[in-house]
Structure 1
Amino acid sequence: MRAFFALWPDAATAAALHARGRALRAECGGRLMRRDTVHMTLAFLGDVATARLEVLEEVAGAVRGERFALELDRVGGWHGHRVLWSGCETVPPPLQALAAELSARLRAAGFELDARAFNPHVTLVRNALRSPGHAEAPPLRWPVASFVLVASERSADGAHYRVLGRWALADGRPETARD
């Protein structure tokens, strides 16, 4: 199966990101990503043997990230403007730490990952005709409380994503002693 770890938006955030994607498509053309596929990839694994799923779950269970708010306040284009995305001017330290810890644990468990540095973004439009004429976007606040493991399944009408597991992030407050 093709798999990846990601941040998966709640319904309100997914709707807001999809609306941003519609606006980008209206400006630049292209194919709008479906609302149910909008996400931020933390670590792309590619093809993974089903027998290794348990190892992925163990790796994810060992990650100790904190909850955070992500401010998506940028838009742009890559690959000759073919991919339009939304991202953040300032990467929250808990997001950077989450991606780094997850990647380190995956590599230690024998998974091969892309060598490129983590670049947080949400792909909104593919096959655009041009890049957006601006980089700034109204801030879209995404409260992040968990991350997920996703299977990507291809069909005639495109990729479909299935969440295989979800792991909560800590609230960032120290634990208190219990009586």
Structure 2
Amino acid sequence: MRAFLGLEPSPQTKLAIQAWRNKALPEFEDTVPATNYHVTLAFLGQLSARQQDSLQQGIDDMADPVQFKVALNTVGYWPKPKALWLGCQQTATAHLNLANQLTHLAQNANISMLKRDYQAHLTLVRKCTENPPAPLLEPDFSWRAEDFHLYESLSTPKGVTYVIRNSWKLVPDITRKR
């Protein structure tokens, strides 16, 4: 199974991002459909059943991670994978902690992880051959992450689709001021 751990925006947020992309950016050939919008916490790659079981057990056993706000308010472009994305100007500490903890658990499950700094992002366009002009409108999207998921990446005749195979709740942060 080809897999990753990630966060899913609410349906309203997905539709708002799609509407913004269609208004604020030029037309692209390979846009990511709103149904596939997610923020990756840890890319896992190809997993064996044993690795998946070990990882899921590790996640089940970890201390309750807390909820946090995901704020997508900047646009970025990576020339090597040719990806245009929305990102966080400031990623919440709880978000970074969760990504780091999940990477550590994946390594403990004998999953090879790429060594790179975590960059919270939501991919808007793939195979974007050049850095597009700045958006006409600045992005400003946010939602409260209340859970995270194990996704399977499936290739279909109509393109890649992401299927949630397992989910874990994030607990409210009772230390946060209301």
For Structure 1 versus Structure 2, the TM-score category normalised by the shorter chain is 0.7 to 0.9
Secondary structure at 2:26 match in 1: helix
Residue matched to 2:172: 171
Would the alpha carbon gap of residues 87 and 57 (structure 1) be closer, same or farther in structure 2, given more than 3 Å must change?
A: same
Deviation at 1:99, TM superposition (A): 0.3
Residue matched to 1:48: 47
* 1:30 counterpart letter in structure 2: E
Residue matched to 1:9: 9
Q: Count residues in correspondence.
A: 173
Question: Within 2, Cα distance between the matches of 1:38 and 1:21?
Answer: 12
> What fraction of aligned residue pairs are identical, expressed as a percent?
27
Secondary structure at 1:138 match in 2: coil
Residue matched to 1:177: none
Task: Trace 1:1-179 onto structure 2 (pairs within 5 A).
Answer: 1-23=1-23, 26-27=25-26, 29-63=28-62, 64-79=64-79, 82-134=82-134, 137-173=138-174
Question: Within 2, Cα distance between the matches of 1:101 and 1:81?
Answer: 25
User: 1:76–1:132: 8 Å Cα contact kept in structure 2?
Assistant: no
* 2:75 counterpart letter in structure 1: V
User: 2:4–2:152: 8 Å Cα contact kept in structure 1?
Assistant: yes
**TM-score, normalising length: structure 2:** 0.87
User: 1:18–1:38: 8 Å Cα contact kept in structure 2?
Assistant: no
Would the alpha carbon gap of residues 36 and 22 (structure 1) be closer, same or farther in structure 2, given more than 3 Å must change?
A: same
Residues 50-74 of structure 1 deviation map (CA, whole Å, 9 limit, x = unaligned): 3433222212223432101111110
Question: Within 2, Cα distance between the matches of 1:115 and 1:108?
Answer: 15
Question: Within 1, Cα distance between the matches of 2:132 and 2:5?
Answer: 28
**TM-score, normalising length: structure 1:** 0.87
RMSD in angstroms over aligned alpha carbons? Answer: 2.0
Structure 2's unaligned 5+ residue stretches are none
